[in-house]
Chain A
Amino acid sequence: MQQQPSMQWKLRDIVVTAVLATACGAIYLGWDLLYKFVPGGVSPVLTAGFNGLWWIAAGIVPYIVRKPGAAVLAESIGGFVEFALGSPYGIQAFTMGIAQGLGVEAGFALGRYRRYRLPMMLFATAMGGVGNYIYSYFYYGVKDYTALTQVGYLVVTLISGAVFSGLLSKWIGDALKRTGVLRNFAIGRQAQNLS
Chain B
Amino acid sequence: MMTSLPSPGAQPGSSLVAIRGLSVRYEERQVLNRVDFTLQRGQSVLVVGASGSGKSTLAMVVAGLIPESVEAEIEGTIDRDPVLDKPGRVGYIFQDPESQFCQLTVGQEIAFGLENMRVDRSQMDPRIADALQAAHLAVSPSAYDLTLSGGMKQKLAIAAALAQNPEVVVFDEPTANLDPQGTAEVFHEIRRLQDSGRTLLVIEHKFLAFVDLLPQVVLIDRRGTVRAGGPTRQVMDEQWPWLVQEGLVPAWWKGISGAWGQPAALEALAAAHRPPEAPEAARPDLFEARGLRFAYGKRKAPQEVLHGLDFRIGAGEKLVIVGPNGSGKSTLLSLLAGLSKPSAGEMTRPVAREGMPVPVVLGFQNPEHQFVYERVADELADGYVGDEMPAKVAALLKQFGLEGYESHSPFSLSQGQKRRLAVAVMVKDDHLAYILDEPTFGQDARTQEAIVTQLEALNEQGRTVVITTHDMELAARFASRVMVLIAGDIAFDGPPEELFANTPLMERAHLLPESSPPFAQPAGEVAPDPATRGWSRFAEVSAAQKRSWMGQLNPSFKLIATMLAMGIAMFAANIPQAVALAALPLILLWVGAKLTPGQIAKRMAPFVIFFILYTWTLTAYSRVGPHTPVFYFLWYRLSWTGLDNGLVLAFRMLASVAFGVLFVSTTDLTDLIVSLSQNLQVSPRFSYGSLAGIRVFPLFEDEWRKIRQARQLRGKEGRFRMARIVTYALPLLSQAIRMGERVSIAMEARGFKGAAAQDPKARTYYREIPVCWGDGVYILAICAVSVAILVLIR
A and B: partners?
Answer: yes
Determine how close the nearest CB of chain B comes to the CB of A195; give it in whole angstroms. 12
Task: For residue A33, give the distance in angstroms from its CB to the closest CB of chain B.
Answer: 8
Shortest Cβ distance from A150 into B: residue = B623
Within 8 A of A (CB), among B621-664: 621-623, 642, 645-646, 649, 652-653, 656-661, 663-664
Of the 9-residue stretches A40-48, A107-115, A118-126, which lies at the interface with chain B?
Answer: A40-48
Chain A residues near B658 (CB-CB < 8 A)? 90
- Are A18 and B690 in contact (CB-based, < 8 A)? yes
Collect the chain A residues with CB atoms within 8 Å of residue B690's CB.
Answer: 14-15, 17-18, 73, 77
A172-B726 in contact (CB<8A): yes
- Does B562 count as interface, using CB distance less than 8 angstroms? yes
- Judge whether A23 is part of the interface by a CB distance below 8 angstroms: yes
- List residues of chain A with CB within 8 A of the CB of B538: 84-85
With contacts A84-B538, A144-B618, A181-B411 taken as known, whether A176 is within 8 angstroms of B27 at the C-beta atoms is no
Task: Give the number of A-B contacts (CB < 8 Å).
Answer: 198
CB distance from A116 to the nearest CB of B (A): 17
CA distance A182 to B236 in the complex (A): 38
Contacts of B656 in A (CB 8 A): 89-92
Contact string against A for B residues 671-697, beta-carbon threshold 8 Å, 1 for contact and 0 otherwise: 000000000000001100111111011
- CB atoms of B622 and A145 under 8 A apart: yes
Contact status B733-A184, CB under 8 Å: no
Asked whether any CB of chain A lies closer than 8 Å to the CB of B730, the reply is yes
Shortest Cβ distance from residue A60 to the other chain B in the assembled complex, whole angstroms:
9
Of the listed residues B686, B753, B757, the one surrounded by the most CB atoms of chain A closer than 10 A to its CB is B686
Q: CB within 8 Å of A: which of B704-757?
A: 726-727, 729-730, 732-734, 736-741, 743-745, 747-748, 752-753, 757
The 21 listed contacts between A and B (C-beta, < 8 Å) are A11-B753, A15-B747, A16-B693, A18-B693, A19-B694, A19-B740, A22-B696, A83-B660, A85-B537, A90-B653, A90-B657, A90-B659, A141-B645, A144-B642, A145-B622, A145-B623, A149-B621, A172-B726, A179-B730, A180-B411, A181-B411
Given A14-B685, A77-B693, A179-B734, A19 and B739 touching (CB < 8 A)? yes
Nearest A residue to B624 via CB reads A146
Whether the pair B563, A141 counts as a contact (CB closer than 8 A) is: no
| Contacting residue for A40 out of B27, B616, B649, CB 8 A | B616
Q: Which of A19, A40, A43, A145 contacts B696 (CB 8 A)?
A: A19
- Asked if A192 meets B700 with Cβ closer than 8 Å, knowing A36-B609, A91-B563, the reply is no
Within 8 A of A (CB), among B18-64: 26-27
A171 to B685, CA, bound (A): 29
A17 lies within 8 A of B734 (CB): no
CA distance A146 to B623 in the complex (A): 4
Residue of A nearest to B697 (CB): A22
Residue of A nearest to B646 (CB): A141
Q: A69: nearest residue on chain B (CB-CB)? A: B686
Q: Say yes or no: A179 contacts B657, CB within 8 Å.
A: no
Q: Is A53 part of the binding interface, using a Cβ–Cβ cutoff of 8 Å?
A: no
State whether A26 touches B741 (Cβ < 8 A).
Answer: no
B532 interface contact, C-beta 8 A: no
- When C-beta atoms are compared, the residue in chain B nearest to A85 turns out to be B538
Tell me the nearest residue of chain B to A93, going by C-beta. Answer: B660
Assembled-state Cα–Cα distance A91/B558 (Å)? 12
Q: Which of A11, A43, A175 contacts B730 (CB 8 A)?
A: A175
What 20 additional pairs, Cβ within 8 angstroms, besides A40-B612, A90-B653, A144-B622?
A: A9-B685, A11-B744, A11-B748, A14-B689, A14-B693, A15-B743, A19-B739, A23-B697, A41-B620, A84-B664, A85-B537, A86-B664, A91-B566, A140-B614, A141-B622, A178-B412, A179-B409, A181-B411, A184-B71, A192-B27
Contact indicator B693/A19 (Cβ below 8 Å) = yes
Binary interface profile of B, 407-449, with partner A (CB < 8 Å = 1, else 0)?
0010110000000000000000000000000000000000000
Interface residues of B in 586-630 (CB under 8 A from A): 603, 606-607, 609-610, 612-614, 616-618, 620-623
The reply to whether A20 and B562 form a contact with Cβ atoms under 8 Å apart is no
How many residues of chain A have a CB within 8 Å of chain B? 57
Determine the chain B residues whose CB is within 8 A of the CB of A182 once the complex forms. Answer: 737
Q: Which residues of A contact B620 (CB under 8 A)?
A: 41
Residues of B within 8 A of A81 (CB): 694, 697
1/0 per residue B552-576: CB within 8 Å of A? 0000000000110010001000000
Q: When the two chains form their complex, are residues A141 and B689 in contact, meaning their CB atoms are under 8 A apart? A: no
Q: Which of B309-327 contact A (CB under 8 A)?
A: none
* Contact, CB under 8 Å: A141 / B740: no
**B→A interface (CB under 8 Å):** 26-27, 69-71, 374, 409, 411-412, 537-538, 562-563, 566, 570, 603, 606-607, 609-610, 612-614, 616-618, 620-623, 642, 645-646, 649, 652-653, 656-661, 663-664, 669, 685-686, 689-694, 696-697, 700, 726-727, 729-730, 732-734, 736-741, 743-745, 747-748, 752-753, 757
Closest to A153 in B: B621
A171 to B728: give the CA distance in the assembly, Å.
Answer: 13
B689 engages A15 (CB within 8 Å): yes
Per the bound structure, the CA–CA distance linking A22 and B699 in Å amounts to: 12
| Residues of chain B lying within 8 A (CB to CB) of residue A10 | 744
| CB atoms of A92 and B617 under 8 A apart | no
* B617: contacting residue among A19, A21, A44, CB under 8 A: A44
Mostly, the B contact residues are: helix
A18 contacts B689, CB within 8 Å? yes
Nearest-neighbour CB distance to chain A for B225, whole angstroms, equals: 24
- In angstroms, Cα B738 to Cα A3, docked, is 25
Q: How far is the CB of B275 from chain A (nearest CB, A)?
A: 43
Summarize A's interface: helix, strand, loop or mixed: helix
Query: Which single member of B411, B649, B740 contacts A16 (CB below 8 Å)?
Result: B740
A66 to B704, CA, bound (A): 27
Most central of A17, A81, A91, A92 by chain B CB within 10 Å: A91
**Cα separation A12 to B757 with both chains bound (whole Å):** 13
Task: Report the minimum CB–CB distance from B86 to chain A (whole Å).
Answer: 18
Question: Is there an interface contact between B736 and A178, defined as CB atoms closer than 8 Å?
Answer: no
Q: Given the interface contacts A12-B741, A90-B660, does A144 sit within 8 Å of B412 by beta carbon? A: no
Q: Are B737 and A176 in contact (CB under 8 A)?
A: yes
B409 touches A11 (CB 8 A): no
Check if B740 sits within 8 Å of A12, measured CB to CB.
yes
Cβ-defined contact, A22 with B693, below 8 A = yes
Inter-chain contact A26/B700, CB cutoff 8 Å: yes
- Near B by CB (< 8 A), chain A positions 88-109 give 88-95
Quote the shortest CB–CB distance from A34 to chain B (angstroms).
12
Residue of B nearest to A139 (CB): B570
Residue in B645, B669, B691, B727 whose beta carbon sits within 8 Å of that of A144 in the complex: B645
Nearest CB of A to B348, in Å: 37
Partner of B693, one of A17, A36, A41, A176: A17
Bound state CA distance, A192 and B71, in angstroms? 15
Please give, as numbers and ranges, the residues of chain A lying within 8 Å of B411 by CB-CB distance.
179-181
Q: Residue on A with the closest CB to B691?
A: A18
Given contacts A90-B659, A140-B649, A184-B741, contact A19 B621 (CB under 8 A): no
Q: How far is the CA of A22 from the CA of B616 in the complex (A)?
A: 32
Pair B570/A138 contact, Cβ less than 8 Å:
yes
A146/B734 in contact, CB under 8 A: no
Instruction: Answer whether A176 and B697 are a contact pair too, CB < 8 Å, given A15-B744, A16-B740, A92-B653.
Output: no
Q: Are B563 and A95 in contact (CB under 8 A)?
A: yes
- Given the known interface contacts A16-B737, A145-B621, A181-B738, the answer about A88 and B657 at a Cβ–Cβ threshold of 8 Å is yes
CB of A181 to closest CB in B, whole Å: 4
- The distance in angstroms between the C-alpha atoms of A7 and B570, with both chains bound, is 37
B residues within 8 A CB of A17?
Answer: 689-690, 693
Scan residues 50-77 of chain A and give those whose CB is less than 8 A from a CB of chain B: 73, 77
Shortest 7 CB-CB contacts between residues of A and residues of B:
A18-B693, A90-B660, A90-B657, A14-B689, A180-B412, A179-B411, A16-B740
Asked whether A84 lies within 8 Å of B730 as measured between CB atoms, the reply is: no
B659 close to A84 (CB less than 8 A): no
Q: Say whether, besides A23-B700, A139-B570, A147 and B623 are in contact (CB < 8 Å).
A: yes
**Given A84-B664, A90-B660; A22-B694 close (CB under 8 Å):** yes
Kindly state the separation between the CA atoms of A95 and B623 in the bound complex, as whole angstroms: 26
What's the Cα separation between A181 and B538 when bound, in Å? Answer: 28
Instruction: Considering the complex, give the chain B residue whose CB is closest to the CB of A146.
Output: B623
CB neighbours of B70 from chain A (8 A)? 184
